[in-house]
Structure 1
Amino acid sequence: MPEKDDVMRFEDYQRYLSPALAKATDLVIDHGDGPYMWDVTGQKYLDFVSGIAVNALGHGNQAVRDAIHEQVDRLINGSFNMVNFPSTLRLAERLAEIAPGELGCTMFANGGAEATDASLKLARAYTQRPAIIAFEGSFHGRTMGAMSVTGSSAMYRQSYQPCMPGVYFSPYPQKDLCPKEYDEEQRSAFCLEQLDKIFSYLVSPAEVAAILMEPIQGEGGYFVPPASFVRGVRERCDKYGIMLIFDEIQAGYGRSGKMFAGQNFDVTPDIMNLGKAIAGGLPMSATVSTEKIMSKWLPGMHGGTFGGNPVCAAAANAVLDEFERQDILANVKTVGGYLGTKLDELREAHPVIGDARGIGLMRAIEFDHEDGSPAPEVWGEVKAKALEHHMITLNCGVHHNGMRFATPLNVTREVIDEGLAILDQSMRELGY
């Protein structure tokens, strides 16, 4: 622990860091354990977003740490382009064992945006078609390709237009993107109709390589779509020979209560992108497809220096071991259901909460004015007050008025209660 007079302060180093990377807090963190982190002054914080859904087993999971140390002592990297690693080969095999349908052939990368770009290239290579359809409200990453298929905020495109050509957007069945009086199934029918209109008015389905979608939208607001919508998209892909790509980077790997979010709708994609939780906090992502589709991706058509890193793969294997040992999916269903009930109660107690939604341990609340309009300024006040009470939170949604709950997947009811008590206290102190 640094001496009091030598404590690192973010503002002292801010000039060395690009302002392009937005900071949710100015905290300088020294270490973490489970759902908690401690800053360099020794102050303890409840991390209620687990590194934006990355630390799925909490901070400092012993099995993950042991696997990392063991692999680091043997080999840090030799580039998966040049040689093979036992940990990476074993991980590829295990992903094939748990992936739905015939998915089971993997390209490893370092982050979600890389996986998005890879899936777009794979779909174009396999179909020999140019166009991509994505959805309003989506988030797929910040590289030029991933940004081009992201529709959750115009801010991400500012200063970078024109984006990658051949991309078309269709509405996702969330309330903000559909007529206000529609119920869930009406929103589903409306959005499928709008998708069909793209085929009629903008691009022939014979030119569409892929439809890219989050089976459950993440950064766009933690919206769970009706099963009829997800299945309707699958049916259209089958009809026209279009690749269906599922972005499972945030919603996948157990967060919904199923290993992969698409399994909640009994829909299997042609290509699946994984990331965030896959390696217990280390940078790793994966694009998973079938052998048949991957066979069209010839040597040299894609690659990356650090993809398939053996240390990340060792951590990822430990994560899968812990999923079995701790029965993570059962915990997500049980504690996730408990969280959903408690959020409904919180909504009843605080009228400023206009909506509570989600599935498993992927849930959100929304702050609205009395007339139903978004209240991002209320969220800003609540976020700041919660941080005063030592809880780290994060927003979601295009209007920046949502709060996402992305706790560790092995979180307990006691920790849920602790976080919600802080949130309740913060709103009461603010008069909400």
Structure 2
Amino acid sequence: MTDAILHTRNRSADTPSFSNASIDARRIAATPRGVGIGFSIYAQHARNAELWDVEGRRYIDFGSGIAVLNVGHRHPRVLQAVEAQLENFMHTAYQVVPYESAVALAERLNRLAPGAHAKKTAFFTTGAEAVENAVKIARCATGRPGIVALGGGFHGRTFMGMALTGKVLPYKAGFGPFPGSVFHVPAPIPLHGVSVADSLRAIEHLFKADIDPRQVAAFILEPVQGEGGFHVAPPDFMRALRALCDQHGILLIADEIQTGFARTGKLFAMEHYDVLPDLMTVAKSLAGGMPLSGVIGRAELMDAPAPGGLGGTYAGNPLAIAAAHAVLDVIEEEQLCARAERLGLRLKQQLQSLREHVPQIADIRGHGAMVAVEFMQANGQPDPAFAKQVQQRAQAAGLLLLTCGTYGNVIRFLFPLTIEDGVLEEGLAILAQALRG
């Protein structure tokens, strides 16, 4: 099915006529309020970095389904790959009847992941599943229970994911108790008054007061915190953490679910550092909108669980596997790592040019096209109200932006890396107007 046919079908006269308001009323009546909605607009069709709602209004998408669409909405290569797989089979359950395409994707990721050591990859469905299984592998491989995470980190909405996540509202409120042997230390964020030395002292205190390091299976962290506000882990902190892990026989898990697949200007954000993780979790942009996640790790660690200890009914779904192969092809052929650097630089230039007009801008940060702007009040306190205003003004003008951060005072930019230059400039012009008010 060609892109043109899909576009025509989406606009056909047979499509029912809806309004955003009428569907939203149905949503409120039919679905629980616990599933939060960012925008009360309802998608009808999309292409690359543009999205149209059911009322025919066009939006420039700077959110990409929360970093899922690094290659854009409905990239032709991804569509073709899924269509070709549909002609063969949709599902067998990999654990029942496996297929070569999944083996080939594991081989490919093993080659691409940082480090020359032997690696293996296991596939799952969601990012939270990948995190859960990384913890299972770490505990099984080390025989230890403890897991240490960072404040402000986000690792999913399952019970282990919530336990690891360093933010109470809205993710953890009302859902406890959580799994035990999970500990948190402050992330090094100088803007918020926490230095690398402060974080390392907190780990030292943790080992003296709460858990023997010989009982810790792993540290888990995002190289760039996603939901936490796009705070980049400082290189000296990453080195110190790796040294601590080596000293005490602890594994280092890099959560690359939001940072992976060219978003930061590297295929994986850990490539910005001179240390290696033992395990990596991946998901989101891996399959261009299809549900697929994985754990990539040292071969001897990945082999620790017994047969049957890992897996899932839809884990490594063949349609998603096909899409992932196409995504990796697009990243390589369209040189999206280099493009992420160029796009991120252009965005940072635009934001820097607005600092003198927008005193609320306290920080502009990020690697590649994983960029955020943080807003503070004149008294140095976080300014979530201003972030919300900017988001609402942008939406009114046809631009979708996502907020994040422990205080909700950060706007994060996750536009597709395939965005056309003209569409990017149009979005940046709307952003500038939304910031100026």
Q: Same fold (TM over 0.5)?
A: yes
Unmatched runs of 5 consecutive residues or more in structure 2: 1-10
> In 1, distance between residues paired with 2:63 and 2:267?
19
User: 1:49 aligned to 2:63?
Assistant: yes
> In 2, distance between residues paired with 1:77 and 1:392?
34
2:24 equivalent in structure 1: 11
> In 2, distance between residues paired with 1:351 and 1:159?
37
1:337 equivalent in structure 2: 345
Aligned pairs, how many? 422
User: Structure 1 counterpart of 2:379, which letter?
Assistant: D
1:132 equivalent in structure 2: 147
Q: 1:276 aligns with which of 276, 284, 287?
A: 284
1:107 equivalent in structure 2: 122
User: Structure 1 counterpart of 2:131, which letter?
Assistant: T
Q: 1:3 to 1:89 in 2, by over 3 A?
A: closer
Q: 1:27 to 1:209 in 2, by over 3 A?
A: same
User: 1:408 aligned to 2:416?
Assistant: yes
1:308 equivalent in structure 2: 316
2:7 equivalent in structure 1: none
The 3-state SS of whatever aligns with 1:282 is: coil
User: Structure 1 counterpart of 2:282, which letter?
Assistant: L
> In 2, distance between residues paired with 1:59 and 1:250?
17
User: 1:348 aligned to 2:359?
Assistant: no
Q: 2:80 aligns with which of 51, 62, 66?
A: 66
- Contact 2:17–2:54 under 8 Å retained in 1: no
> In 1, distance between residues paired with 2:422 and 2:118?
38
User: Structure 1 counterpart of 2:126, which letter?
Assistant: G
1:87 equivalent in structure 2: 101
Stretch deviating more after TM superposition (369-378 or 98-107): 98-107
The 3-state SS of whatever aligns with 1:223 is: coil
> In 2, distance between residues paired with 1:174 and 1:161?
27
Deviation at 1:60, TM superposition (A): 1.3
> In 2, distance between residues paired with 1:64 and 1:103?
29
User: Structure 2 counterpart of 1:42, which letter?
Assistant: G
> In 1, distance between residues paired with 2:155 and 2:183?
14
User: Structure 2 counterpart of 1:6, which letter?
Assistant: S
User: 1:285 aligned to 2:293?
Assistant: yes
Q: 1:154 to 1:24 in 2, by over 3 A?
A: closer
2:157 equivalent in structure 1: 142
Deviation at 1:43, TM superposition (A): 1.1
Deviation at 1:412, TM superposition (A): 4.3
User: Structure 2 counterpart of 1:123, which letter?
Assistant: A
> In 2, distance between residues paired with 1:103 and 1:255?
25
Instruction: Map Cα deviations across residues 254-309 of structure 1 (whole Å, 9 max, x no partner).
Output: 11111111110122111100010000111110011122112211112222100011
> In 2, distance between residues paired with 1:153 and 1:411?
34
The 3-state SS of whatever aligns with 1:354 is: strand
Task: Report sequence identity in percent.
Answer: 37
Unmatched runs of 5 consecutive residues or more in structure 1: 180-186
User: Structure 1 counterpart of 2:162, which letter?
Assistant: M
> In 1, distance between residues paired with 2:118 and 2:388?
42
Q: 1:222 aligns with which of 230, 254, 258?
A: 230
The 3-state SS of whatever aligns with 1:46 is: strand
> In 2, distance between residues paired with 1:406 and 1:320?
18
Instruction: Map Cα deviations across residues 10-65 of structure 1 (whole Å, 9 max, x no partner).
Output: 22421112221100011111111110011122211000011111011111100000
Q: 2:89 aligns with which of 75, 86, 107?
A: 75
2:5 equivalent in structure 1: none
Normalised by the length of structure 2, the TM-score is 0.93
> In 2, distance between residues paired with 1:335 and 1:356?
14
Deviation at 1:6, TM superposition (A): 2.9
- Contact 2:261–2:331 under 8 Å retained in 1: no
> In 1, distance between residues paired with 2:346 and 2:400?
21
User: Structure 2 counterpart of 1:315, which letter?
Assistant: A
